[in-house]
Amino acid sequence: MLGRWTLDNVQRWGRETIFLGNILIGIPSIFGRFYLVIYQIFAVGVLTLVIILVSGMFVGMVLGLQGYNTLVDFGAESSLGLVVALSLTRELGPVLTALLFAGRAGSALTAEIGLMKATEQLAAMEMMAVDPISRVVAPRFLAGILSMPLLAALFTAVGVWGGHLVGVVLLGVDAGQYWSAMQNGVDFYEDVLNGFVKSIVFGFVVTWIAVFEGYDATPTSEGVSRATTRTVVNASLAVLALDFVLTSLMFE
């Protein structure tokens, strides 16, 4: 039982790694036809915008509320802007965006590629001498990696604005203090750039898992459904685990 499980998983990681290698080989060929990537950025990134913006807004508002309630006891509500901005740029922006991205865009990628496999569209491409990895998978992979940091940045920006809405407009923290605390306390390299690196890594991992699960899916309706579930579960776990590793490396 345990041996079989181990073997299956080791094989799976092997396939996953080889698959990544094939994608990377296929990527140069799509620079000549970048419109394929643009279209996928629309499908993967732009269509994910609404959920990212709405979630970012609410997360920022909650941060504003909770931060204010905690800080006001110490008379430190002037630091609210700093608390909101740091939580978002360092952690919540990249992590929550990645989780939402896995649920919205990752599941869609897996289902799409899995169904293309189940309906023999990938096999048909192979028979037309078109490599499905460079024609179908590589543009989606690249689009995912390019979209994630942009989405995370928007999530953070909207979140800061949501914190402002609750903290300043509703609860009466001084607007000047809110913004200046943020400006003084948030470091570009230490906070913003590290958050940016995180979001790129998460985008890479989530999209990789999503396209692999689709391509590796058992070509039946049940197989595609299981692959989609696996994408969301595995990608979310990978994001949370990687976040711990990255945080411990970046913010010693």
Partner 1 sequence: MNNLIELNRVWFAFGERPVCEDLSLSVPRGKVSVIMGPSGCGKSTLLNFIGGRLKPQAGEVLVDGVDVSRLNRQGLYKLRKSMGMLFQNSALLTDLSVFDNVAFPVREHTELDERLIRHLTLFKLQMVGLRGARDLKPAQLSGGMARRVALARAIALDPMLVMYDEPFTGLDPISKGVIVKLIREIGDALGMTSLVVTHDVAEGMSIADRVILLGEGRVISHGSAAEMQASRDPKVRQFIDGQPDGPVAYHYPAKNYLADLAGGDAA
Interface residue list for partner 1 (CB under 8 A): 116, 119-121, 123-131, 135
95 sits in which H/E element = helix 93-101
Nearest approach, Cβ of residue 224 and partner 1 (Å): 14
Measured from the CB atom, the residue of 40 and 228 that comes closer to partner 1 is 40
Give min distance, CB of 135 to partner 1, in A. Answer: 7
Q: What H or E segment, with its residue span, contains residue 50?
A: helix 49-72
- In 3D space, the residue among 127, 146, 136 whose CA is nearest the CA of residue 33 turns out to be 136
Smallest CA-to-CA distance from 144 within 85, 92, 191, 104 is with: 104
Min dist CB 159 to partner 1, Å, is 34
Question: Minimum distance from CB of 36 to partner 1 (Å)?
Answer: 11
Q: Looking at beta carbons only, is 15 or 33 nearer to partner 1? A: 33
DSSP annotation string for 96-154: HHHHHHIIIIIHHHHHHHHHHHHTTHHHHHHHTT--HIIIIIHHHHHHHHHHHHHHHHH
Pick 131 or 190: Cβ nearer partner 1? 131
CB closer to partner 1 out of 1 and 129: 129
